[in-house]
A and B are shown apart, each in its own frame.
Chain A
Amino acid sequence: AQSVTQLDSQVPVFEEAPVELRCNYSSSVSVYLFWYVQYPNQGLQLLLKYLSGSTLVKGINGFEAEFNKSQTSFHLRKPSVHISDTAEYFCPRRRSQGGKLIFGQGTELSVKP
């Protein structure tokens, strides 16, 4: 089955520290990968996407992610987090046919002062 695994349900980190949110997926075919952020009581906002080409993808708000085909991973990183980055993060993948996004369980990032 095609699935997405977010390896950490919660990630606490201090302000200005670096952070990595881990995401693995299972697929034997080409995938399109995304990272979304969800702030409390809001919908999902796209941070970045990987379609093809360069494996290092830069997104908004200083986030970046690296696609690793051999490890089937797409981890999200930020060198220095802010309190305002506290939110839930999702890394869905999109099937090559069908169009739906397949989500993992999400990672709750909590940035402490």
Chain B
Amino acid sequence: KAGVTQTPRYLIKTRGQQVTLSCSPISGHRSVSWYQQTPGQGLQFLFEYFSETQRNKGNFPGRFSGRQFSNSRSEMNVSTLELGDSALYLCASSLAQQDHYEQYFGPGTRLTVT
């Protein structure tokens, strides 16, 4: 079974631009979560989607948004990029949203904002 895939793997954007990242979960998984990883803040939760509904949201500004499609694929969007948005963005999928189901992570999208 294929793992979690994220596209693109690398991105370079300029301040003020917007960006869309994509995540395809493991087949059959219905829950998708997004995390931001930076050297200073570590791994921080962005949001979680289950059955096309946002179930949980972290403490990020409204510039960060996401959605999930009927096939469970998910996208996250960051508008008006800032230098501090440079990070590795990780997507994780889970069979369901119950807590005992482990999350499987993709390889991440490394975003660099210049």
Contact = CB atoms under 8 A, between A and B. Distances in A.
Contacts, number: 59
What is the interface of chain B mostly: helix, strand, loop, or mixed?
strand
B87 interface: no
Interface string A69-106: 00000000000000000000010101111111111111
A66 to B, nearest CB: 19
Q: Which of B55, B56, B105 has the most CB of A within 10 A?
A: B105
Contacts of B81: none
Contacts of A101: 33, 35, 43, 45, 92, 103
Interface string B83-114: 00000001010100111101111111000000
Nearest to A106: B42
B28 interface: no
Interface size class for chain A?
20 to 34
B42 A99 contact: no
B24 interface: no
Contacts of B90: 43-44
B48 interface: yes
B4 interface: yes
A23 to B, nearest CB: 14
B58 interface: yes
21 contacts: A32-B100, A36-B105, A41-B107, A43-B4, A43-B107, A44-B90, A44-B105, A45-B105, A46-B103, A49-B102, A99-B55, A99-B98, A100-B33, A100-B48, A100-B56, A101-B33, A101-B35, A101-B43, A101-B92, A102-B45, A103-B42
